[in-house]
Amino acid sequence: MTTIILVHGAWHTSWCWESVRSELSGFEVRTVDLPSVGAVPAGLQEDAAVLRKAVQDVDGPVVVVAHSYGGAVASEALAGLENVKHIGYLCAFALDAGESLLGAVGGVAPEWWNIKGDGWITVTDPASVFYNGVPAEVTGEALKNLRPQSEAAFTEELSGAAWQEIPTTYIVCSQDQAIPPFAQRQMAARTGGTVREIDTSHSPFLSHPAVVAGLVREMVASAG
């Protein structure tokens, strides 16, 4: 049986996948918690090491689905892992070797990044940036679970890009206020894989978990 590993993005932890997991009953679903979120001022490499170990701990085929910053982690972590059969980029950064997340946004932090000067970044008005279209009650709970994000994770460059060797699906979120949809489409095109587009915000795992789960099932089916 194929194991699904879900990778959260910046400022989030594994809680964000709970609704999607509930839609994937019958599958072996695992998550990781990246250390750069609210724990220690870790960088991309530490996050990638956590994901790489999670994959190596699976005895069998794996499909990895990564959200937002988690896409950079997946690209860095998964190269050379033969049991990874498919990577899903959910409005995620599909970066190449030598690129960083900060570089990918033009080298200048977006206005909604609150750079605190202590190695951590928080978000100005996360309800608008992340959760437009998400029910108010769900948004309220999500806001309680956000954590500071290590700045180092955004400045470290990738040493590899797993999408160059592993089949991919890129899910563009056309109402995204965090990563412009045109930038998502550019990253989707560079991967050369399957592209799906959904009319959601940056957080479809909260607003449309059944849709996300259906796309994950597609990935598992394509992975054989």
In this prediction, residue 216 carries a pLDDT of 98
Q: What is the pLDDT of residues 209-220, one digit of tens each?
A: 999 999 999 999
Q: Which residues lie closer than 8 Å to 220 by C-beta, 6 or more apart?
A: 2, 4, 27, 63, 86
pLDDT number for residue 75: 98
> What's the token pair of residue 210?
């059944």
Q: Measure the N-to-C terminal CA separation of the chain; round to a whole number of Å.
A: 10
State both tokens at 88.
Answer: 């899903």
pLDDT score of 117 = 83
Encode 186-220: b = buried (16+ Cβ within 10 Å), e = exposed.
Answer: ebbeebebbbbebebbbbbbbbbbebbbebbbebb
Domain CATH number, residue 20: 3.40.50.1820
Per the structure, the complete domain to which residue 72 belongs is given by 3-222
Q: Which two tokens stand for residue 98?
A: 């030598």
Between CA 116 and CA 158 the distance in angstroms is 24
pLDDT of residue 41: 85
Task: State which residues of the chain have pLDDT below 70.
Answer: none
Domains in the chain, number: 1
Measured over the CA atoms of residue 6, residue 66, residue 145 and residue 20, the dihedral's sign is: negative
State pTM to two decimals.
0.97
Handedness of CA 21, 23, 25, 26 (dihedral sign): negative
